Amino acid sequence: MNIVLGVGGGIAAYKSALLLRLFTEAGHTVTVIPTDASTKFVGVATWEALSGHPVTNDVFDSVDQVNHVRIGHEADLIVVAPATADLLAKAAGGHANDLLTTTLLMARGPVLFAPAMHTEMWQHASTVANVATLRSRGVHVLDPAVGRLTGPDTGPGRLPEPEAIFAAAMALVAGDTLAEHDAASPAPLPTEPAAVALEAVVPEAVAPVAPTEPVAAEPATSLATTDLLAGVRVLITAGGTREPLDPVRYLGNKSSGKQGVALAEAALAAGAIVTLIHAPMEVPAPAGATIQRIETALELRSATLAAAATADVVIMAAAVADFRPANISTGKIKKRDNADDPVITLVRNPDILVEVVAHRAAQNQKQLIVGFAAETGDDEGDAQTYAQQKLVRKGCDLLVVNEVGPGESGGERVFGQDTNQVEILALDGASPVQSGGSKREVADDVVHLIAQRLAAG
């Protein structure tokens, strides 16, 4: 994908270097356009070195290439981070006096602004009106994070963390709508503290950090009944979604739901308040959890996004269909001798995990998000490499990875089995944790790790 990264003149410009790295590590081509003011914070040389491309903000550089038109035209996505009050005003007013503003006027794909400024500027009537104007035109403007600003002051105005901007950008490209506040009511401060003090994990070294040696999970058998997650609201998804083709057929997957149910049981045993949203499973849902049953990825999405709004921890163990049939036949698809065999056209489902991460950022929510990945290696990379890339792409805090496919005896290694072998990767570069045994033992290890992170704040 061709991404334009616009950088505004704020101290948070340095964080965009990490954002740039997330984009390039995910395989995207990035053209960086810094404003003149931003180069006082981060110089052109840094952007050229990190992006691997020449960088300018001068419309009169390489005039023969008509950069002020071409760059915006060719961009699949434009992300402006940090977006200053000045840049928001210029974009809302349609200014075109440098390469970034002309590029914004030429945009054909989605545009995402990640504002950063002092609280007073963010809440000023001019900025509120400019943000409202941009949003009314379909431009996506994230709410700034709440926290320490440049000086000793705190409040809404911090640039969201690079991982959150990355996740929001990916969700946008996936065609999803980000939850945004009406600009007339600037980002509210969180009113209700989470049951356990959760702090967004703020990786200093951005993944994919070459992780250090994996460590074995601490034995978790003592977790059988504990209060490690007492009062913590844990949302778990489980099972394999079914995407209907007609009234009797569907596209499904091999997920049994056993690992998700084991997680729900482990979280309940640790004192958590558990909501389990599950697609069809081979095992019964556990007693003691609030249960919601769904079938399709879109149903899972609505249920998950609604429930995630009040969850302290989200564990996405469901196997979600990446695609669904474009059309669902109202009658059973017939087999006819005198007609061609039917062709099924698929459309992409939204990535719910990416959306949950984006919503957390948009709402300034304190939440720990855990994804699952079933990976296989191929000629171009091993399962671990793909998992590390997936962790960055998804932007979740932890990714529980199992290598799927035939086991040593030739049978299936994970799906439907009672045992599992996983490696748990962390976005903040913490050492991967290995766990294996029954699915309940693996679940206890995951719960243990979550509790450790919550306790660490």
Active site residue ranges: 253
Length of the chain, in residues: 457
d(CA 2, CA 120): 34
By C-beta, is 55 or 400 nearer to ligand C5P?
400
Residue position matching structure tokens 């903040």: 428
d(CA 212, CA 431): 5
By C-beta, is 85 or 353 nearer to ligand C5P?
353
Number of shown-chain residues binding ligand C5P (CB under 6 A): 14
- Cβ–Cβ under 8 Å, residues 99 and 33: yes
CA distances from 375 to 224, 242, 282, 413, 423 (A): 29, 20, 22, 12, 11
Among 31, 349, 363, 388, binds ligand C5P (CB under 6 A): 349
In the shown chain, the binding pattern of residues 373 to 412 toward ligand C5P, with x for contact by CB under 6 A and - for none, equals x----------------x----------------------
Binding to ligand C5P, residues 270-329 (CB under 6 A): 297, 316, 318, 320, 322
Contact flag: residue 257 with ligand C5P (CB under 6 A): no
Maximum alpha-carbon separation in the chain: 77
Nearest to 173 by CA among 12, 301, 4, 335: 4
Among 351, 397, 423, 444, binds ligand C5P (CB under 6 A): 351
Q: Least CB distance from residue 316 to ligand C5P, whole Å?
A: 3
In the shown chain, the binding pattern of residues 1 to 40 toward ligand C5P, with x for contact by CB under 6 A and - for none, equals ----------------------------------------
Q: Least CB distance from residue 292 to ligand C5P, whole Å?
A: 15
> Three-state DSSP class for 148?
strand
By C-beta, is 155 or 371 nearer to ligand C5P?
371
Scanning 2-10, 69-77, 350-358, 419-427 for contacts with ligand C5P by CB under 6 A, the matching segment is 350-358
Q: Which residues pair with 31 in a beta bridge?
A: 4
Query: For the purposes of burial, counting CB atoms within 10 Å of the CB of 89, is it exposed (0-12), middle (13-18) or buried (19 or more)?
Result: middle
Q: Least CB distance from residue 156 to ligand C5P, whole Å?
A: 28
Q: Least CB distance from residue 348 to ligand C5P, whole Å?
A: 8
Scanning 152-160, 365-373, 418-426, 439-447 for contacts with ligand C5P by CB under 6 A, the matching segment is 365-373
Q: Least CB distance from residue 301 to ligand C5P, whole Å?
A: 8
In the shown chain, the binding pattern of residues 233 to 252 toward ligand C5P, with x for contact by CB under 6 A and - for none, equals ----x---------------
- Cβ–Cβ under 8 Å, residues 416 and 258: yes
d(CA 256, CA 278): 11
Binding to ligand C5P, residues 129-158 (CB under 6 A): none
DSSP letter for each residue of 264-305: HHHHHHTT-EEEEEE-S-SSPPPTTSEEEE--SHHHHHHHHH
Q: Which amino acid is at 401?
A: V
Q: Which residues bind to ligand C5P, rule: CB under 6 A?
A: 237, 297, 316, 318, 320, 322, 349, 351-353, 371-373, 390
